[in-house]
Amino acid sequence: MATLFGRVRYVIGALAVIWLVALAVPSAAQQPTSVNPTASSVKEEQLLRQLRRVEGRITIPDERASVLEQPEGRSWRQFHEVTLRWIGAIAILLMLAALVIFYLTRGMVRLENGRSGRTIVRFNAFERFIHWLTATCFVILALSGLNITFGKKLLLPLIGPDAFTIWSQWAKYFHNYLSFPFTIGVIVIFLMWIAGNMPNRVDVEWVKRGGGLIGNDHPPAYRFNAGQKAIYWLQMLGGTAMAITGYLLMFPFYGTDIGALQTAQMFHGIIAMLYVALIIAHIYIGTIGMEGAFESMGTGTVDLNWAKQHHSLWVEQEMARTGPNQSQAQPMATPAE
Q: Closest approach of Cβ 63 to ligand HEM, in Å?
A: 22
What's CA 258's distance to the chain center, in Å? 20
The four Cα atoms 162, 67, 267, 196 give a dihedral, to 10 degrees, of -90
Q: Closest approach of Cβ 110 to ligand HEM, in Å?
A: 31
Q: Is residue 226 a contact point for ligand HEM (CB under 6 A)?
A: no
Length of the chain in residues, anyone? 337
Only segment of 196-204, 263-271, 282-290, 319-327 that touches ligand HEM (CB under 6 A): 263-271
Q: Of 176 and 322, which CB lies nearer to ligand HEM in the complex structure? A: 176
Q: Closest approach of Cβ 13 to ligand HEM, in Å?
A: 60
What's CA 19's distance to the chain center, in Å? 62
Q: Is residue 145 a contact point for ligand HEM (CB under 6 A)?
A: yes
CA distances from 157 to 87, 143, 163 (A): 22, 18, 11
Looking at 48, 95, 171, 276, which residue binds ligand HEM (CB under 6 A)? 276
Looking at 109, 148, 226, 304, which residue binds ligand HEM (CB under 6 A)? 148
Q: Is residue 265 a contact point for ligand HEM (CB under 6 A)?
A: yes
Q: Is residue 131 a contact point for ligand HEM (CB under 6 A)?
A: no
Looking at 16, 163, 237, 250, which residue binds ligand HEM (CB under 6 A)? 250
| Other CB atoms within 10 Å distance of the CB of residue 168 | 17
Q: Computed over its alpha carbons, how large is the radius of gyration of the chain?
A: 32
Q: CA–CA separation, 127 vs 114, rounded Å? A: 27
| Other CB atoms within 10 Å distance of the CB of residue 315 | 23
Residues within window 34-93 making contact with ligand HEM, judged by CB under 6 A: 80, 84
CA distances from 39 to 28, 83, 202 (A): 11, 33, 72
Would you tell me which residues interact with ligand HEM (CB under 6 A)?
80, 84, 138, 141-142, 145-146, 148-149, 172, 175, 179, 182-183, 242-243, 246-247, 249-250, 265, 268-269, 272, 275-276
